Amino acid sequence: YFYSSVSEPSQGLPQFISLGLVDGEVFLHYDSNSRRVKPRVSWMEMLGKEDPQYWDRETQRERSQEEASTTDLETGRIRYNQSEGVHTWQLMYGCELQTDGSKRGFAQYGYDGRTFLTFDKETLAWVAPDPQAQITKRRWDHIPGNNQGIKSYLEETCIEWLEKYLSYGKETLLRTEPPVVT
């Protein structure tokens, strides 16, 4: 998943956008203008038919993420002492199933295109390469159970959803030959 917030969006552009991707293909989209999660591929529409509450749940989740992202962007501006100008806050997280059966999960935050915090699943701690991120790192690392919850999400829940998405999109996602344009 990719999330991005901008402090001063251009006319008509959303302040917040969220994209869900599987194998590089955008399968869902949300932004602060529409305020609804929408499928971007036909196979995701099947999920909504089988689970009628799916789109409402995802929309509520994305609205919460939009709110958190806006707050985090403001925190970044404070940490870097930047009250004016255009600034961005990004979050990228996800999981991968490797061909050998191994699993990988990751979570990383960025401010103005630079790494702000990266989650280390092995140490159950946030890594702050930038001094301005140290306060946030200490706060997040001291929330009881938070980092274990993130690790569990990345290694279990995320993988379960990825497998579900792969089963719905298997016609296009699991093909071994590239599509042909005629």
Q: What are the boundaries of each domain within the chain?
A: 2-169
pLDDT, tens digit, 9 for 90 and up, residues 132-166: 999 999 999 999 999 999 999 999 999 999 999 99
Residues 92, 111: contact at Cβ < 8 Å? no
**DSSP sequence for 10-47:** PTTS-SEEEEEEETTEEEEEEETTT-S-EESSHHHHHH
The span from the CA of 101 to the CA of 115, in Å, is: 29
Q: In the 8-state DSSP scheme, what is residue 103? A: E
Residues 105, 95: contact at Cβ < 8 Å? yes
User: Is 2-169 CATH 3.40.50.2300?
Assistant: no
Q: Give the pLDDT of residue 172.
A: 83
**DSSP sequence for 104-153:** EEEEEEEETTEEEEEEETTTTEEE-SSGGGHHHHHHHHTSTTHHHHHHHI
The span from the CA of 88 to the CA of 10, in Å, is: 13
Q: Is the pTM of this model over 0.85?
A: yes
pLDDT, tens digit, 9 for 90 and up, residues 164-181: 999 999 888 876 666 556
The span from the CA of 113 to the CA of 172, in Å, is: 32
Burial label for 119, CB within 10 Å (0-12, 13-18, 19+), is buried
- Both structure tokens of 160: 């379960």
Q: Is the pLDDT of residue 24 over 80?
A: yes
The span from the CA of 96 to the CA of 104, in Å, is: 5
